[in-house]
Amino acid sequence: MNYSIPRILFAFVLGVIFGAVTTEIAYLSLQRENRAPKTIELIIPAGTAELIRQGDAPPTIPQDMRFVVGDILRVINEDSENHQLGLLYIPAKSSASLKLESVENMTMECSFQSTNFLDITVQEPVTWWTRLRGYFYAGFPLGTLFAVYSGLIVKKKKDESVS
């Protein structure tokens, strides 16, 4: 009886599963940036302007931020002074929002950082469709490779048993 077709199918399925597992591990390791778009709030605490004048950095404000396309950055100013982030003007005790619509790395002028700049990185979000394509792009070639090599291993064993 010829077991080559089930063996090839098994090797192919094994390769696709292995490719899917490795793709999923990579996805999970990048979970922070790989998410659906959402509103992210950045709070400027009271007393920030005074800290900046003294040359200190506000402890709760990061030096750089990562976003995905479609995120909305909402800056809430709890300080008694007005602040600015790029083109966003944030009056005291109010807020302003910025929709991040394209992939880019930018450095924005920022009045609530001691360096006067805030680095912003905007990436493409990873969707279920992106993950599915990753399974295919990793799994299909790997499955094909497993199937081809499974035939070579069986052929080599047959050649050795004939000798």
The pLDDT of residue 1 is 44
**The Cα angle at residue 31 between residues 30 and 36, in degrees rounded to 5:** 125
Kindly report the CATH number that applies to the domain delimited by 39-123. Answer: 2.60.40.420
The answer to whether 120 and 99 are in contact (CB under 8 A) is no
What are the pLDDT tens digits along the chain (163 aa)?
A: 456 788 888 888 888 898 889 888 887 887 556 678 899 999 999 999 999 988 887 878 888 899 999 999 999 999 999 999 999 999 999 999 999 999 999 999 999 998 889 999 998 887 778 888 888 888 888 888 888 887 766 555 555 665 5
Helix (H, G, I), strand (E, B) or coil at 137: helix
* Cβ-Cβ contacts under 8 Å for 69 (sequence gap 6 or more): 37, 100, 101, 102, 103, 122, 123, 124, 125
The pLDDT of residue 34 is 67
Strand partners, 21: none
